[in-house]
């Protein structure tokens, strides 16, 4: 006896049930909107990686200026 398996999946974007079937062109998302949002976040993270020059700047800002008195 076969059980009917409903191939539902939590949408990676909003968590709502999404169909994992060919009828759903946006799988594993529930809709085009969620798919677009996810891709947008992915690319956003990729392009928001700070450049090395920014790291150097923040490290330099932590050091006291050479002329400032040092607390003992
Ligand atoms: Zn969704």
CA atoms within 13 A on the CB side of 39: 10
Of the candidates 14, 22, 9, 7, the one whose C-alpha atom is nearest the C-alpha of residue 38 is 14
* Centre of ligand 1 from the C-alpha of residue 54, in Å: 35
Q: Is the pLDDT of residue 29 over 80?
A: yes
- The predicted structure's pLDDT at residue 30: 92
Domains and CATH numbers, the chain: 1-46 (3.30.50.10)
* Centre of ligand 1 from the C-alpha of residue 41, in Å: 14
* Mean predicted confidence (pLDDT) in 4-25: 83
Biggest CA-to-CA distance, the chain: 83
Residues in CB range of 17: below 8 A, 6 or more apart: 8, 9, 10, 11, 30
* Centre of ligand 1 from the C-alpha of residue 47, in Å: 24
Position 16 confidence tier, pLDDT thresholds 50, 70, 90: very high
Over residues 37-72, the pLDDT tens digits come to: 987 876 776 666 565 555 555 555 566 667 767 777
**Cβ-contact 13, 29 below 8 angstroms:** yes
């Amino acid at each position: 006896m076969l059980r009917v398996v409903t191939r539902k999946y939590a949408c990676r974007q909003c968590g709502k049930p999404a169909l994992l079937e060919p009828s759903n062109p946006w799988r594993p998302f529930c809709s085009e909107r969620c798919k677009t949002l996810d891709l947008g976040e992915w690319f956003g993270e990729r392009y928001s990686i700070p450049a090395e020059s920014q790291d150097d700047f923040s490290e330099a800002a932590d050091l006291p200026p050479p002329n400032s008195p040092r607390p003992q």
